[in-house]
Amino acid sequence: MLYDLDGVLVDSMQAWFRVIQRGARELGHPEVSFEHFRRTFGQGVEADRAEFLPEWTSPEVAAFYQRAFAEELAGVEIKGEATRVLEGVRSLGLRQALVTNTPLELAREILRRTGLGRYLDALACAGEAAEKPAPDLIWLALERLGSSADQALYVGDSETDRLAARAAGIRLVGLGIPGDLTLGRLDELLEHLE
């Protein structure tokens, strides 16, 4: 079982919005509207750079995220049902991995602070392979789990996730978006696995 981080396991949209706003201010750009940001949420470092912070290189954006997001970590919360779902999937004997466009060190810190890391057997994060919507992070997570696309499901909540799943040849569990299986809430996943 593979999961996206932001919007699936944690609620971090407002924190990331404040980071993007801060970057825009540092570069002297006009304020980014929440609606504009929301449409791009989860797209990854390179796409964020092109969209919002074009004067910086991708490594500079990643370094900025590491610095700026540290001040927003207190605003990141576990999605209400995420712990119960991760525990339930673990109790079924299934291995679990995170696949995220969040840079590795930030993802580790979020998982450490929320305690969700203890349920995951592998991570595949921005900076380790081409970001979603490319399939590379999904393939990396599958390799680390010792699994294949036909044996796994990927839970995502964005168009970026949908495109990455399609490219990777893995079934998508769409959380609030159309997928091979579409869920309104994450905890509905357990009903389909038992």
Residues near 126 by Cβ (< 8 Å), separated by ≥ 6? 44, 45, 62, 100, 101, 102, 103, 104, 137
What per-residue confidence (pLDDT) applies to 136?
A: 98
Q: Within the chain, where are the H helices?
A: 13-26, 34-40, 45-52, 58-69, 82-91, 104-114, 136-145, 159-168, 189-193
Name the nearest CA neighbour of 107 among 158, 149, 153, 69.
69
Residue with tokens 């949908």: 162
What per-residue confidence (pLDDT) applies to 23?
A: 97
- Give the pLDDT confidence of 149-173 residue by residue, as tens digits: 999 999 999 999 999 999 999 999 9
- Give the pLDDT confidence of 95-140 residue by residue, as tens digits: 999 999 999 999 999 999 999 999 999 999 999 999 999 999 999 9
Does residue 194 register a pLDDT over 90? no
* Residue 184 token pair: 């309104």
Angle between helices 104-114 and 58-69 (to 10 degrees): 20
- Give the pLDDT confidence of 42-101 residue by residue, as tens digits: 899 999 999 999 999 999 999 999 999 989 999 999 998 999 999 999 999 999 999 999
CA angle 192, 125, 32 (to 5 degrees): 95
Residues near 148 by Cβ (< 8 Å), separated by ≥ 6? 142
Peptide bond into 54 cis (omega under 30): no
What per-residue confidence (pLDDT) applies to 80?
A: 86
